[in-house]
Chains A and B, each alone.
Chain A
């Protein structure tokens, strides 16, 4: 069976190389994202000073770029938990090498998403009134409002995804603690909470990650249902649909899976993890993207089709506007969100090539961003008694770019402190999987994981 220690020796060396050596290209990437972030914050301060009218919003549609970004980033934040939680529940062995990088994607995207409810407020400096702290005036936030459900859901999901991420990180911090000296050693030994790797610790870790897996799935589904109910609860004709909650969850999973493809390809190229992220992983994630894409299209068509078929006078206005004024948004959505994935994903050769999957991931995310525009803007601009329009201004665009900058900044920063492929899960994979020659074929063999919980 070969020497186990030799194999885990070079696993440790490969996977902690990203943490211990900072290359020049890392600095370039870090500073680039830093400048983009600075530009975005500058625009936010300009909006603070000048007031909300720097955005393109107007009377009937009061929500614009900040809400669109909030829904998009909360969608991307769903990917990590989906990959690590759902695939662990389905005992998919191949998830081991990509769980850590997708969970970090979740945490960073969630921090970005958490900022937008503050950016979107008219008076941003009193955002803390949404927090239920006891105050002298005896005033509490109004828990009948979907925006308050949003604030609770975001904080619950942030706490649970950080716990889920950190519980997987403790053993890796222990390995880093043993391999580093100086201030890194102090940092990691503090983070590793005196982890020894004894079998009691492993059993408790498996117990807690089992329970977290089972409980985090309803949390991330409820996060995006409540984001969907922000729109579903209003009586604006296009938004008042009962399908908005599952439709938003599917849209989030779709853009999340696309973001996973992008991150897998970039991280694999940046940290030379060719031995750890195999074409097989791209193949499986691409299949998930295709299934969820079809499911999302089912919900999207169901929603639009039911408005069109019943020819309900109030609902028909926003559809006419969608096919008229917002025709270009619909065309980009159709091209990037439906055509590109459905053309490239069925072919195995394309599915296993990382750069093709990067292209598909980017196109899916472009489509889902436009889909959020289609969901937020046309309905509100065709309200009952007043019609309006929404043209994004330069502040809208720079806030969006600033958000990508902040995400990139956080991700590069975090990848300097944590190994992007979880060491112990990969080693566990080595123990459990093997290849056996049956007849004259090499067939992979795996241990059937006992059921969770």
Chain B
């Protein structure tokens, strides 16, 4: 019935095919820093933003805003937002690996590079976490335990977030060793770059034993990434839940934040994948198949996010206990526009927008949906902290000022910079992943129709 002969019969010309080779070529010939062009302009803009944010925080924020909790609260919220979204991207690519999604190879590398944002987090978060007790001093006085219980959660916080990023780095390095090996072989003999890649390629010759250990390592690391991601998001959720209001510990916050960051990660992966395919001028890097599947995944996550949010609201509404209902009411009626933006951004747009195939499969459609999702998630961060303190905080302290928006822009600049720098060292698409996919699936005719036949690859950790 199925003509199943020609698998793997021409590995050499798969490797030479344009997509695969082009991703390596951009690294090898690495153009000098050209003065004009889109890439150069974005690098310039982002570095200016980052420096400006740094200057504002250190030379104006630290001395002048010492006792204005609103400023520090905002920078902490935007840092936590970027932290959760980057970890979400790494977790999304790990989940796709675990589920053997046939369309994952293009997106894996793009999503894994997000774990490099961890360097910025390690640099900035300790200062904000230490200052947390002081930021929410007003919050603490009203409720006996403030948002971030200085004793317990801070230890869990740094531990969990750290391991999540470490796992991301290891997975990224492991899966790019074959790429470094390929680059080492393709680069001219003893140029400086070639020495660099020979050192980090750790004597990789592509031997069968090496491939098998790489597979096993990748399998173990995928579990590591997912578990540490869930732990890190749970601890952030518990920060809000364990002490947000004296009697109301809505235990839904841990899964709510895990799904929220997955949703954000998915949205950002779509955005970054489109951007890289335009920047690297590889039009068929991200095909409509990828957008279709990304859209479906986003529908699922949007539904689960709304489901958790609805559980939280309904339990408070039905219980009618004043303390809990005041918190929910504060969130929905005190900030009606923000609550509407959050629900529309995180639920209505991704779920109902992605239901139409036309929107889902067009890059423009999916990117607009992703931007709405990210806005919704940022607003959700704000809505979960501000109402808890709205009664005893001057509302003016919680409205974003010009300085805090600059800090947020600085953080986004950091995120873009991570990608621009990483693109010079990691090939945009994992060279070996792509060739693996192309050799395992091909068209074949069955009866009058044509179907594509693919090898069923065994579970990821089975060598």
Contacts and interface: CB of A to CB of B under 8 A. Distances in A.
Given A242-B312, A245-B311, A306-B242, A312 B249 contact: yes
Contacts of B249: 306-307, 310, 312, 315
Contacts of A444: 455-456
B2 A445 contact: yes
A303 B311 contact: no
Interface residues on chain A, size class: 35 or more
A420 B234 CA distance: 42
A271 B12 CA distance: 50
Contact of B292 (A302, A306, A451): A451
B250 A242 contact: yes
A435 B317 CA distance: 57
B303 A218 contact: yes
B4 interface: yes
Nearest to A235: B319
A233 interface: yes
Interface string B99-139: 10010000000000000000000000000000000000000
Contacts, number: 119
Given A233-B318, A438-B7, A451-B292, A243 B454 contact: no
Contacts of B307: 221, 225, 245-246
B243 A310 contact: yes
A201 to B, nearest CB: 18
Contacts of A240: 315, 319, 321
A310 B314 CA distance: 22
B10 to A, nearest CB: 13
B316 A242 contact: yes
A20 B305 CA distance: 49
A13 to B, nearest CB: 22
Given A221-B307, A434-B1, A446 B453 contact: yes
A306 B241 contact: yes
A125 interface: no
Nearest to B441: A448
B4 A436 contact: yes
Contacts of A306: 238, 241-242, 249, 251
A439 B8 contact: yes
A299 B7 CA distance: 44
B185 interface: no
Nearest to B316: A242
B: interface residue count bin: 35 or more
Nearest to A250: B255
Contacts of A244: 311, 315
A366 to B, nearest CB: 26
A243 B252 contact: yes
B452 interface: yes
Interface string B279-297: 0000000000000110010
B429 to A, nearest CB: 21
Which of B247, B251, B459 is packed against the most chain A CB atoms within 10 Å? B251
A26 to B, nearest CB: 36
Interface in B174-233: 230
Given A1-B1, A243-B251, A299-B255, A448 B102 contact: yes
Contact of B453 (A233, A315, A445): A445
Given A218-B303, A241-B251, A448-B452, A309 B315 contact: no
Contacts of B243: 310
A306 B250 CA distance: 9
B152 interface: yes
A446 B456 contact: yes
Given A233-B315, A309-B152, A303 B251 contact: yes
Interface string A261-304: 00000000000000000000000000100000000001100110
8 contacts: A218-B303, A229-B315, A232-B315, A235-B320, A436-B455, A444-B456, A451-B293, A451-B296
Interface of B: 1-2, 4-5, 7-8, 99, 102, 145, 152, 230, 234, 238, 241-243, 247, 249-252, 254-255, 292-293, 296, 303, 307-308, 311-312, 314-316, 318-321, 441, 446, 451-456, 459
Given A225-B311, A243-B251, 14 more contacts: A225-B307, A229-B318, A243-B255, A310-B243, A312-B247, A436-B4, A436-B455, A443-B7, A444-B455, A445-B455, A447-B446, A447-B451, A448-B452, A451-B293
Among all A-B residue pairs, the 8 with the closest Cβ atoms: A436-B4, A243-B251, A242-B252, A242-B315, A233-B318, A242-B250, A306-B251, A444-B456
